[in-house]
Amino acid sequence: MNADTGSDERHLARFLYRYQDDRAGSAAIKALYRGEATPEQQKLALQAIRQGICKFDELQYDPHSERNTAFALGMKFVAHQIAKVCTLDEGRLQRAYDYAAMSHRDTAGNRQED
C-alpha cells in the first residue's frame, strides 16, 4: 500500500465514522448523484452536505491550527454558496448571470496582445 492510498483510506475512515449516524443523508447524497433522488431525498442531501459535511453551524476556529481554521472556513463558504443559490430569487439569479456574461465579454474584448 502506498502513502497516498493509506491517506485516502484514513480520510474515508474518518468521514465514515463522523457520518455513521447519518446513513439516510449518505443515501440521499448518492441518490442525488445518480439523479434518482426523491424531493425528500434532495432536501435531505442538501441538508447533509450543508450541516454534516460543511459543518455550517459549527465554530470554524481551531486555536491550534490556522490551516485547519482556514480549511473549515472554506467548507463553510461552500455551505453559504449552496444556501445562496437555493434561496436566491430566480430573477436576481438571471440578472447576475447576465451581468457576469456581459462583464466577461467586456474584459475579453479589452485584452491587450503581448
Residues near 54 by Cβ (< 8 Å), separated by ≥ 6?
75, 76, 78, 79, 82
**Residue 58 pLDDT grade (very low, low, confident, very high; cuts 50, 70, 90):** confident
pTM summary value: 0.60
The pLDDT, as a whole number, for residue 1 is 43
CA distance 31 to 79: 20
Res 2 pLDDT > 50: no
pLDDT digits (tens, 9 = 90+) for 59-111: 888 899 999 899 989 999 999 999 888 888 888 888 888 998 998 876 665 55
